[in-house]
Amino acid sequence: MRPASEDDILAIVSRFFPTGHPSLLLDRGDDCAVLRPSGPLAVTTDVFAEDAHFRQRYFTPFDIGWKALAVNISDVGSSGAKPAGFSIGLTLTGKEDSVWLESFCQGMTALTDRFDLAISGGDLARSPLLNICVTAWGELPAELPRGLRRGVAQEGDIIFLAGSVGLARLGLTALEKTVSSEDVASTAEHWPAACAQHLRPMPLASEGMALGRFAVEHGLQDRIGLMDVSDGLARDLPRLLDRRKNGLGADIRIDANNIHPEVRLYCSQNGMDAASFAFMGGEDYALAATCPADAWPELEVLLSSFSVPCLRLGTVRRGPVTLNGKAPDSAGFDHFSA
Amino acid sequence: MRPASEDDILAIVSRFFPTGHPSLLLDRGDDCAVLRPSGPLAVTTDVFAEDAHFRQRYFTPFDIGWKALAVNISDVGSSGAKPAGFSIGLTLTGKEDSVWLESFCQGMTALTDRFDLAISGGDLARSPLLNICVTAWGELPAELPRGLRRGVAQEGDIIFLAGSVGLARLGLTALEKTVSSEDVASTAEHWPAACAQHLRPMPLASEGMALGRFAVEHGLQDRIGLMDVSDGLARDLPRLLDRRKNGLGADIRIDANNIHPEVRLYCSQNGMDAASFAFMGGEDYALAATCPADAWPELEVLLSSFSVPCLRLGTVRRGPVTLNGKAPDSAGFDHFSA
């Protein structure tokens, strides 16, 4: 099919994304859209760039649309905010036809529908590689004016995880080895959960908001730490603890039984330690969190209501971050650029 | 010099952009920054992409930083909002050294200082071409909850311009002909105002805010139309009038004496009509506006206080858009892609 013209593109976008939304005072289509914030706004920006974050060889246009938005919603949710809207700076190559664009939009609307997001507008440019820059925002309750954030942990706090880790790294590893579309199909069949986690991670925004509400209800706004795990626990846990500033570490315990079976299978086939693999793996967009030990029993009840597996990882302490009693293998997940 | 590493880049950015700002409840550095909006927020996103919007041959890194931000501030200002902050999705090629990055940051901070902007964060990626995606926002007064916008003009309204048009197109035309850095230097010497307007347009945000205040003071929130002229009057005037919906046009008169001398000189040297050239020219980021005829005398007083030239362009009418009594030459400014 012929490449879509700029007018075609805008017509397709308009078909998928309504111009108006109750949270907008002025719809997109003007120099600016106008938001009506009801309280503090959590804002994040993530670039999703071809050959840096994804390859067209194994990402469908639906996957690209989904993940470009998902990684931003994940950031919003991990601040405890309710995702509300986004804008998009879309750089296309000029080769995309209308089928491609429709699929890309569908990948985004799958998430905008789920989270009831407004699209406030965006911009279109052309370049040899795809580049999708999303800025997303969410609304924080007045009682949580700075959101849930990193660096609030103290010695003795519990560290826990919502969602699983390691799967997306396995998906990336397996998909990077493919050379043909047949390869991609058989890889997706062989490692279905891993490929899905890499291609279409589900942002845990509802879970982040639930943790935000819990913090408010228990007066723990400044004592529950939260972030999404985009670069792997090995890199992100020190950030969660603000280790560089305060020297906090943790004794992390990951039992192989709590690791996804696909990861365990892959690691046993390749003579790797599954816990280390999971600890290093990035892009799962799980939530890593800290809480005071005395809040843990009640928090555990909340976590048991989540639709994703949750795991107590260990306890904050002065000293190094260790995994199952040993220093972790390396500094973490480095994506393609490694 | 050696290319800057990611850590170098972040260190340079931190040096130029403070992490905190009074308008942020939570500084950048976490999953999200948190804004404290005092009222409705005008939001815009513009991509500034190498070889689509600029060439490294004649844009210095300072110019790139400046213009990537300036075009967004211009959109915020043309809604009547006070520019307040921005986030940035920055895709670098990996060849930039620290001198390049410092100059790029200086181009941005020249504007953040001028407009007291918060930077809420951003993201960094790598790709063969530079791509800078900025999302900027500004605060609207409670009495101007939807901002100044397009499509409010009625028959008989006055159309006017703040800032000049045509210069940036001349700058682009002249700079596109250069092949060497000597060429660029001599072109900049030959057409100083035109090159400056193309490379470092000054967003007319104070002027947009002043028009917003005027609208509020005179109860004209829904009767003063405003937009910035990024694609040239030929393309943007029909958008300002929402011509496609309501068939409104205008009899535009541009006297050659009101066109910048560099544009007049260039046109006389090349046998072109200066008014047509100015009417077609894009990227000046002038403000085009409409107002009821009976507000014009008072508005003229306000415009006389602006630091940029202002010009009454004509009157809104039913019928075509004409320039000096004739149909304009073509549909407008098409940038490199033309």
Write B97-100 long-range contacts (CB < 8 A, 24+).
Answer: B97/B1, B97/B2, B97/B3, B97/B4, B98/B1, B98/B4, B98/B8, B98/B12, B99/B1, B100/B4, B100/B61
Separation in Å, CA of B193 to nearest CA in chain A: 26
Residue B1 lies in a domain: no
Q: Is A53 on the interface with B (CB under 8 A)?
A: yes
**B34 → closest Cβ in A89, A127, A140:** A140
**Contact: A131, B125; criterion CB under 8 Å:** yes
Neighbour order of strands in the sheet with B286-291: B225-229, B286-291, B158-162, B310-318, B248-252, B321-323
Same domain membership, residue B184 and residue B109: no
Say how far apart CA A292 and CA A221 lie, in whole Å: 12
Report CA dihedral (A102, A107, A113, A114) to the nearest 10 degrees. Answer: 170
Encoded tokens for B145:
């909850």
Same domain membership, residue A190 and residue A49: no
- Going by their DSSP bridges, the two strands A82-92 and A158-162 should be labelled as unpaired
Q: Are A289 and A220 in contact (CB under 8 A)?
A: no
Q: How many CA atoms lie within 13 A of B189 on its CB side?
A: 6
Separation in Å, CA of A171 to nearest CA in chain B: 21
Q: Measured on CA atoms in the order B208, B211, B213, B215, is the torsion positive or negative?
A: negative
What is the residue whose two structure tokens read 């909006």? Answer: B37
Same domain membership, residue A184 and residue A106: no
Residues of B in contact with A52 (CB under 8 A): 91, 125-127
Q: Are A238 and A244 in contact (CB under 8 A)?
A: yes
Give the helix, strand, coil percentages of chain A, each rounded to 5.
Answer: 40, 25, 35
Residue B282 lies in a domain: yes
Number of domains in chain B: 2
Q: Between these two residues, B19 and A179, which has the higher pLDDT value?
A: A179
Mutate to test the interface with A, among B135, B211, B221, B239 (most CBs of A within 10 A): B135
Residues of A in contact with B241 (CB under 8 A): none
For A76, the closest chain B residue by CA position comes to B32
Encoded tokens for B285:
């980021």
Largest CA distance in chain A: 62
What pLDDT was estimated at residue B23?
84
Say how far apart CA A254 and CA A322 lie, in whole Å: 11
Domain holding B13, by residue range, is 6-139
Same domain membership, residue B178 and residue B67: no
Closest CA to B242 of B145, B324, B149, B334: B149
CA distances from B126 to A48, A51, B95 (A): 10, 9, 10
> What is the DSSP secondary structure assignment for residue B230, as one 8-state letter?
S
Give the helix, strand, coil percentages of chain B, each rounded to 5.
Answer: 40, 25, 35
Mutate to test the interface with A, among B26, B31, B230 (most CBs of A within 10 A): B31
Same domain membership, residue A198 and residue A308: yes
Taking residues B116-133, what's their average pLDDT?
A: 94
Same domain membership, residue B164 and residue B229: yes
**Contact: B33, A44; criterion CB under 8 Å:** yes
Q: Which of residues 281-300 of B touch A (CB under 8 A)?
A: none
**B52 → closest Cβ in A25, A40, A127:** A127
Q: Are A90 and A122 in contact (CB under 8 A)?
A: yes
**A337 → closest Cβ in B120, B126, B227:** B126
Encoded tokens for B253:
């008169």
Mutate to test the interface with B, among A21, A23, A36, A45 (most CBs of B within 10 A): A45
Same domain membership, residue A236 and residue A128: no
What pLDDT was estimated at residue B94?
93
Say how far apart CA A264 and CA A272 lie, in whole Å: 9
Residue A309 lies in a domain: yes
Q: Using the 3D structure, point to which of A139, A167, A185 is the last residue of a domain.
A: A139
Whichever domain contains B93, its CATH number is 3.30.1330.10
Q: Using the 3D structure, point to which of B139, B173, B200 is the last residue of a domain.
A: B139
**Contact: B35, A46; criterion CB under 8 Å:** no
Q: Is B47 on the interface with A (CB under 8 A)?
A: yes
Same domain membership, residue B317 and residue B171: yes
Q: What is the pTM of this model?
A: 0.94
B107, containing H or E segment: helix B98-115
Same domain membership, residue B133 and residue B32: yes
Cβ pairs bridging A and B (under 8 Å) = 211
What pLDDT was estimated at residue A330?
65
- Pick out chain A residues at pLDDT < 70: 330-338
What pLDDT was estimated at residue B20?
83
Neighbour order of strands in the sheet with A41-49: A118-126, A82-92, A131-139, A41-49, B33-35, B24-26
What pLDDT was estimated at residue B338?
35
Taking residues B32-57, what's their average pLDDT?
A: 94
Q: Are B87 and B134 in contact (CB under 8 A)?
A: yes
What is the residue whose two structure tokens read 């490379």? Answer: B199
Separation in Å, CA of A304 to nearest CA in chain B: 25
Residue B336 lies in a domain: no
Q: Are A336 and B127 in contact (CB under 8 A)?
A: no
pLDDT tens column, B242-283 = 999 999 999 999 999 999 999 999 999 999 999 999 999 999
pLDDT tens column, A268-325 = 999 999 999 999 999 999 999 999 999 999 999 999 999 999 999 999 999 999 999 9
Same domain membership, residue B242 and residue B126: no
Q: How many CA atoms lie within 13 A of B230 on its CB side?
A: 19
**Angle at CA A165, nearest 5°, toward A160 and A167?**
165
Say how far apart CA A76 and CA A35 lie, in whole Å: 16
Say how far apart CA B110 and CA B68 lie, in whole Å: 12
Say how far apart CA B231 and CA B98 lie, in whole Å: 34
Q: Which of residues 187-226 of A touch B (CB under 8 A)?
A: 226
What is the residue whose two structure tokens read 């950031």? Answer: A75
Say how far apart CA A104 and CA A56 lie, in whole Å: 12
Encoded tokens for A71:
């990684």
User: Please, which pLDDT band fits residue B240 given cuts at 50, 70 and 90?
Assistant: very high
Question: What is the phi/psi pair of residue B68, to 5°?
Answer: -55, -40
Q: Are B214 and B220 in contact (CB under 8 A)?
A: yes
**B31 → closest Cβ in A32, A44, A53:** A44
Residue B144 lies in a domain: no
What pLDDT was estimated at residue B331?
53
**Residue A1 identity (one-letter amino acid):** M
**Contact: B34, A146; criterion CB under 8 Å:** yes
List all residues 6 or more positions away from A192 whose beta carbon is below 8 Å from its beta carbon.
A262
Residues of B in contact with A337 (CB under 8 A): 126
Taking residues B290-309, what's their average pLDDT?
A: 98
Residue B71 lies in a domain: yes
Encoded tokens for B239:
């958008």
Q: Using the 3D structure, point to which of B105, B139, B173 is the last residue of a domain.
A: B139
Encoded tokens for A288:
């890593």
Closest CA to A201 of A59, A70, A56: A70
Residue A335 lies in a domain: no
Whichever domain contains B169, its CATH number is 3.90.650.10
**A127 → closest Cβ in B31, B76, B131:** B131
Q: DSSP states of A158-223 as a string? A: EEEEES--SHHHHHHHHHHT--SHHHHHHHHHHSHHHHHHHHSPPP-HHHHHHHHHHHHHTT-TTT
Mutate to test the interface with B, among A10, A14, A43 (most CBs of B within 10 A): A43
Q: Is the pLDDT of residue B336 over 70?
A: no
What pLDDT was estimated at residue A2?
83
Residue A202 lies in a domain: yes
**A32 → closest Cβ in B35, B128, B147:** B147
Residues of A in contact with B226 (CB under 8 A): 31
Same domain membership, residue A313 and residue A243: yes
Q: B5 in the Ramachandran plot: left (φ > 0), alpha (ψ -120 to 50) or beta?
A: beta
**Residue A87 identity (one-letter amino acid):** S
Beta strands per DSSP E along B224-264:
225-229, 248-252
Same domain membership, residue A186 and residue A117: no
